[in-house]
């Protein structure tokens, strides 16, 4: 490498993406012949810093860092000064600025933005799972699910699945219909991971009649008849008893309330919720 070329050492106690993006954006503002970037992520010991600086002091170098752990940051600043290596602290001025505005003390924890990104992608994955395994579309998803909702038509299976997906839970749901045998995979799911949904028959008549109207069908269709609804509820109740799963009556509950009960059931069985609640 030509002696005039610049070595940019990117040092971080996390992945180091911020340091690289800022360094590249800044150096693009200069007419510059050549430079090389060397990235040192996940620095968590002073020895790692010293080894990097031993290399950096051999050439024309600058250290660009995004260290948030105070002890390591102070050590890096001290050693670059001692070795006469220029250093640029990217994070501290921004953190100090926000600290002044918010009147709060920073966590000084590496990788928080990456953790937020991971949480976002887990939520997207859970939502995609809920869509893929909604309404019993693919019984293979039952074993992969964090929780399985079962119940007759119009017992809020899909809305609950989507709501819980936003809590990073992978939810599958299965409709229970007297004429259709439940998938055999349902009986391989631990009963504590299955939630049965039931409802008041008179409330269900109203809901189904409104559904028929929305579809432009006659409200007196068998789908909304009391005889049919009682038959479906009895059939579903027998399956839920056979499975030995918890059952929630959703007739007077909002989706949020039913979801809260489900989350509490999961806590009781020791399921670790990924959204931290």
Q: Residues marked as binding?
A: 151-158
Binding-site annotation: residue ranges for ADP:
151-158
DSSP state of 177: B
Buried residues in 121-144 as b, exposed as e (16+ CB within 10 A):
eebeebbebbeebbebeebebbee
Query: Contact 115/274 with Cβ under 8 angstroms?
Result: no
Q: How far is CA 21 from the centre of its chain?
A: 25
DSSP state of 182: P
- Provide the 3-class DSSP secondary structure of residue 65: strand
Task: In whole angstroms, give the CA distance from residue 256 to residue 198.
Answer: 16
Q: Given phi > 0 = left and psi -120 to 50 = alpha, else beta, which region is 16?
A: left
For the chain, the straight-line distance linking the first and the last C-alpha, in angstroms and rounded, comes to 53
Task: In whole angstroms, give the CA distance from residue 23 to residue 2.
Answer: 21
């Amino acid at each position: 490498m030509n002696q005039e070329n610049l070595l940019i050492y990117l040092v971080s106690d996390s992945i180091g993406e911020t340091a690289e993006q800022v360094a590249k954006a800044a150096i693009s503002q200069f007419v510059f012949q050549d430079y090389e970037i060397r990235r040192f992520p996940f620095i968590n010991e002073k020895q790692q810093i010293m080894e990097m600086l031993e290399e950096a002091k051999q050439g024309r170098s600058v250290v660009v860092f995004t260290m948030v752990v105070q002890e390591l940051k102070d050590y890096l600043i001290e050693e670059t000064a001692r070795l006469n290596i220029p250093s640029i602290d990217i994070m501290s001025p921004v953190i100090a600025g926000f600290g002044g505005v918010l009147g709060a003390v920073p966590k000084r924890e590496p990788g928080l933005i990456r953790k937020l990104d991971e949480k976002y992608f887990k939520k997207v994955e859970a939502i995609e799972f809920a869509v893929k395994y909604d309404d019993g579309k693919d019984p293979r998803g039952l074993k992969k699910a964090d929780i399985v909702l079962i119940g007759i038509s119009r017992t809020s299976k899909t809305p609950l699945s989507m709501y819980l997906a936003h809590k990073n839970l992978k939810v599958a749901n299965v409709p229970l219909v007297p004429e259709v045998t439940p998938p055999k995979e349902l009986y391989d799911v631990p009963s504590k991971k299955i939630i049965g949904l039931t409802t008041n028959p008179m409330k269900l008549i109203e809901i189904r009649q409104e559904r028929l109207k929305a579809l432009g069908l006659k409200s007196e269709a068998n789908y909304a008849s009391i005889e049919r609804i009682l038959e479906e509820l009895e059939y579903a109740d027998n399956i839920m008893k056979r499975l030995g799963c918890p059952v929630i009556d959703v007739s007077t509950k909002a989706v949020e309330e039913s979801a809260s009960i489900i989350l509490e059931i999961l806590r009781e069985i020791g399921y670790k919720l990924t959204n931290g609640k």
